[in-house]
Every structure is written in C-alpha cells, then in structure tokens.
Amino acid sequence: MSSHAISDNKPHNEKPSRRLTSADIAGRKGGEPIVCLTAYDAPTASVVDEHCDVILVGDSLGMVVHGLPSTVGVTLDMMIMHGKAVMRASKKALVVIDLPFGSYEASPQQAFESASRVLAETGAQAIKLESGAYAAETVRFLVERGVPVMGHVGLRPQAVNVAGGFRAKGRTDGERAEIMHEAQSTVAAGAFSIVVEGVAEDLAQDITAQIAAPTIGIGASAACDGQILVTEDMLGLFNWTPKFVKRYGDMRAMMSDAIGAYARDVRARQFPADAQIYRLKAAN
Ligand code: KIV
C-alpha cells in the first residue's frame, strides 16, 4: 500500500469520485442529453459543476468578462488564467478550454503548442477549436498526440470579421452543404464531440443524425445530443438577450436591486450597522 493510500481518511470501500472524460462524453451519443454551460471563474464553476456534465471555458469570456467587442482579442494567457480558476473550483465535470483566435490556425504544430500549454498549465482534459473545413488536419494532429478535441461549426464567432457579423448559418443550400462537410470532416478527424452554433434547426437535426460524435447545440435544435449556453446569458446578466437564449433568471435586476440598496444604506450611514462592526473585547 502506498503512503498516499495510508494518509487517505476515506473508508476503504468508498469509490473516489472522478471527473467525466472526453470518452464518457463521446459515449453519450444518442443517449442522455449532455448538459453544458460556460464558466470563467471559480464561484461560477463550483455551481455549474453541481449540475452540468461539461464546463466550457469559452473565449466568449472576452466579451462577457473583459468587455471586448468580439472574441478576436482573447489571448492564450487569458484562457489559461480563467481555465486554472475553473479547474480549482470543479471536480466532476469535464472541463474544455477554447483555443483563442490566432493560437492554432497557422499550422497543426502551432495548435499542438497552444493545446499542450493549455492542458499542462490548467489540468483541463480537452480543448475546443472552431473547425472550419481547413481544420480537419489540425484536429487529427492533436488527437493523435493525445489532445481531446471538441469541434465547433456553424456560426463561428472568431470568423466574425469575414462573416460580417454574428448571423445564423446554414439557411441556404450552399451554406448547408459547407457546414455539413465541416462537421463530418471534424468528426472523421477524431473530435470527440462538436458544438453546432447558430444554424437552421433542421440542419442541426441532420448533422446530429449523420455524425458519430455527440452534437452540442447552441441556437441549433433540441434534437442535438446536448446543449450549451453562456451562463451569464441564461442567468439574465445583460440587458440584451440573443434569440436562442432562454433567460432562467434575472441576475441584472437582482444585482441592481442589491447594489442600489447598499448605496442607499451607505449614503444614509445605515451601513455598517451593529451586526457588522467589531467592538473592544471586554476585559477579563
Ligand atoms: O466561447 C464560447 O462560450 C462558446 C460557446 C458559446 C459554445 O464557444
């Protein structure tokens, strides 16, 4: 018995809980829907981890946390910093970290250098990359070298400057064929699952029916093998909500009410009150 086992206070028959793996998620094709949300920080990750199978540290953090106009300005160092926070606060979900714009497109070698840094420095077990048609070679290169890859087709936010904005895809025959090809080649190259974002509903259904890996929909279809949203969007943190988001909370109103009440208390010298202050200890 190793010293590690001796120092463990758990009863001998208790199975240690383990994180879901990319293989577990791949095995859910056509089965129980895969529940995914984003998280970029420790407190959010700890709550998401209680309910979800996958936590995505998405490069959407550039817009949601850092106030950038798109995901194009996000760096690998930002992804690694947020990825570390999410890993510290989660223990059950598979954590997937986005490779940001500019960190993987130049060559499979560049992608491997970025992906291996992400996995080694954060301890996360998988990366996601936006997988246009050109990306199959890179996906294969990564998977063969031990990097589990989640693909991402349809609306690809990192391509916003070519697409001319964030608009739904796959609504013409030409676009449908292109997106189906991207999905098939990404999965044939070894991706364990694939995000399908902002596409016509029946195209998402067709992709889900035709590829062997689970599809994770966002603005896609309830027929996908799983769903993902940006947590802050579904919590209602922003004034504007995209069409494909259902608001499950009204966090902006809750924060504004609480912060407004605090501001009023401070201005009226009603905070701190007795319950929040320290007094001299009574002498013995
Ligand atoms: O960056 C992100 O959060 C994403 C999801 C919305 C799929 O890519």
| Distance, CA of 242 to CA of 252 (rounded, Å) | 15
Atom of ligand 1 nearest to the CA of 60: 1
**How many A from CA of 153 to the centre of ligand 1?**
11
- Model pTM score: 0.92
pLDDT value at residue 207: 98
Question: Which contacts qualify for 137-141: CB closer than 8 Å, 24 or more apart?
Answer: 137/108, 137/189, 138/104, 138/107, 138/108, 138/111, 139/186, 139/189, 139/190, 139/191, 140/108, 140/189, 140/190, 141/108, 141/109, 141/111, 141/112
Most ligand 1 atoms within 8 A of CB, residue of 41, 54, 59, 60 to mutate: 60
- Catalytic annotation present for 50: no
Atom of ligand 1 nearest to the CA of 228: 7
pLDDT value at residue 126: 98
SS3 per-residue string spanning 17-43: CCCCCHHHHHCCCCCCCEEEEECCCHH
Tell me the domain boundaries of the chain.
22-252
Closest protein CA for atom 1 of ligand 1: 58
Most ligand 1 atoms within 8 A of CB, residue of 230, 233, 244 to mutate: 230
**How many A from CA of 229 to the centre of ligand 1?**
7
Which tokens is 125 given?
A: 């077990």
Tell me the pLDDT of the chain (284 aa) as tens digits: 344 444 445 555 666 679 999 999 999 999 999 999 999 999 999 999 999 999 999 999 999 999 999 999 999 999 999 999 999 999 999 999 999 999 999 999 999 999 999 999 999 999 999 997 889 999 999 999 999 999 999 999 898 888 777 777 878 888 899 999 999 999 999 999 999 999 999 999 999 999 999 999 999 999 999 999 999 999 999 999 999 999 999 999 999 999 999 999 999 999 999 999 999 988 76
Which of 121, 197, 201, 232 is catalytic? The answer is 197
Q: Which CATH code is given to the segment(s) 22-252?
A: 3.20.20.60
Q: In sequence order, which residues have a C-beta less than 8 Å from that of residue 79 and are 6 or more positions away? A: 57, 59, 61, 97, 98, 99, 100, 118
**How many A from CA of 145 to the centre of ligand 1?**
24
**How many A from CA of 58 to the centre of ligand 1?**
5
